[in-house]
Amino acid sequence: MNIALIGYGKMGKAIEKIAIEKGHQITAIVDSKNPIELLKINNIDVAIEFTRPELARKHMVYCLEIGLPIVVGTTAWKEDLPAITDMVNKQNGSLVHASNFSIGVNLFFEMNKKLAKIMEAHPAYKLEMTEIHHTQKLDKPSGTAVTLAEEIIEQNTNYKHWRLAEDNKLVNENEFFIHALREENVPGTHLISYESQIDSIHFEHIAHSRDGFALGAIVAAEWLQNKKGIFTMKDVLQH
């Protein structure tokens, strides 16, 4: 498989390493020196995009216009999802997006939903979430934390909203905090805590490196070949 990397920071380099180990080739790189407009579909099977939210839509639109399947790991562009979905359908395009491509995190998502449903019957346990990432990560909270929070709200009727803990106060009992911490050299940690006066229940995923995210993105790119439509990592792992 010939891959175009859109974004060549730490994540892009991790994807390059894993892709080559799996026998794929990196045939194009888009970065500040090589803008997306120079990308041609010749000898490219799929693009993998990890950049910044303000650039992601432009990159998706360009790839869809030239008929290039794309895997998108950038987060915090959810407001553009309806327009991108329409474009995928109109262009008969191929796109996979996810708040987190790690296979372990996607297993964590499924367990989080089951735990949230169980805890619905035990409102004495109060929920909080903490996510820790490297200092270069700009979005707060992380896309993974937002996904976890939305899943909890879907499963547990005791909660209707989440709030970022910085400079905020909980307004209602049906809200919970997400604490977003930034520390050096932390690939990603997500901790869900249910606290009562009697005891605590902690449920945590800790990434040891970026390799899990890189591997998941490549698995998604492999899966996307010869498919049409807009998909998530859940689709990838269910087939």
Active site amino acids? 133, 137
Kindly give the pairing relationship between strand 94-97 and strand 229-232: parallel
- Report residue 11 CA to chain centroid gap: 13
Q: How far apart are the first and last CA of the chain?
A: 20
- Report residue 218 CA to chain centroid gap: 14
Helix (H, G, I), strand (E, B) or coil at 71: strand
Helix (H, G, I), strand (E, B) or coil at 171: coil
Please count the other Cβ atoms lying within 10 Å of the Cβ belonging to residue 34: 13
152, burial (CB in 10 Å: exposed 0-12, middle 13-18, buried 19+): buried
Q: Where are the beta strands (DSSP E) in 44-150?
A: 46-49, 70-72, 94-97, 126-133
Q: Where are the beta strands (DSSP E) in the chain?
A: 2-6, 25-30, 46-49, 70-72, 94-97, 126-133, 161-164, 175-182, 188-195, 200-207, 229-232
213, burial (CB in 10 Å: exposed 0-12, middle 13-18, buried 19+): buried
